[in-house]
Structure 1
Amino acid sequence: MGRGLLCHTTMATQGNKWAIVMSRGIELSDQVVELDFLYPSEGVHKRLDAGYFITSVAATQDQVAVVLSFPKQKPSNTTQETHRTPSFPCELIKENRTKNLYITSLCYGRSIV
């Protein structure tokens, strides 16, 4: 694992099919998947508070899955923000780049009203 970088996993969906990429040799001490029919907010926040990082997110019309990983050694000076928006977040992306925050995962899913 490079300095300041968290190794990422990948997950995607198409219709009702799931695709995942699983890796060996990355420096993680734990990894979990939070799965829900709406958004696994409670489980995600619990893991983030415990030091996990979101490393992948994907959604079908029926489910949302969030992969959270715990690095063996936490990178220094690391920040992660999550956002849910009703449309593509062009302005939010521009604003966050000025704070040196970059997209590490993005997915599209059903809107929850």
Structure 2
Amino acid sequence: AFIFQVVELDFLYPSEGVHKRWDSGYRITAVAATWDQTALILSVPRRKPTDETQETLRTSAFPSQHVKEKWSKNLYLASVCYGRTVS
């Protein structure tokens, strides 16, 4: 359960908003994208998680090698979405 929740919406990627929310205790709980917008739902959990590690990655192709490297560090995918690729 969550005690607060916000939406960060941008035509590219809401990097500044996400980092600001992370600093305030929010964590990404859902993502979505269309050809022209990216939306991230960030929530503050009622109970503080034991592991707060989160990372976002934007690529033009699926980052198989990056994912495998994260697995070796016990970090796993929580969500993937597909939208427009920005050069």
Question: What is the aligned partner in structure 1 of residue 53 from structure 2?
Answer: 79
Q: CA RMSD in A?
A: 1.0
Q: Which residues of 2 match residues 4-23 of structure 1 at below 5 A?
A: none
**Partners in 1 of 2:56 and 2:15 — Cα distance?**
11
**Larger Rg computed on CA atoms:** 1
Q: Report the counterpart of residue 39 of structure 2 in structure 1.
A: 65
Please report the TM-score for the alignment, with normalisation by the length of structure 2: 0.93
C-alpha distance in 1 between matches for 2:45 and 2:64? 30
**Structure 2 stretches lacking a partner, 5+ long:** none
Alignment coverage as a number of residue pairs: 87
- Structure 1 segments (4+ residues) deviating >4 Å: none
Question: What CA distance in whole angstroms lies between the structure 2 residues aligned with 1:61 and 1:77?
Answer: 32
TM-score normalised per structure 1: 0.73
Task: Give % identity.
Answer: 61
Gaps (5+ residues) in structure 1? 1-26
Q: Find the aligned partners of 1:46 and 1:82 in 2 and give their Cα distance.
A: 14
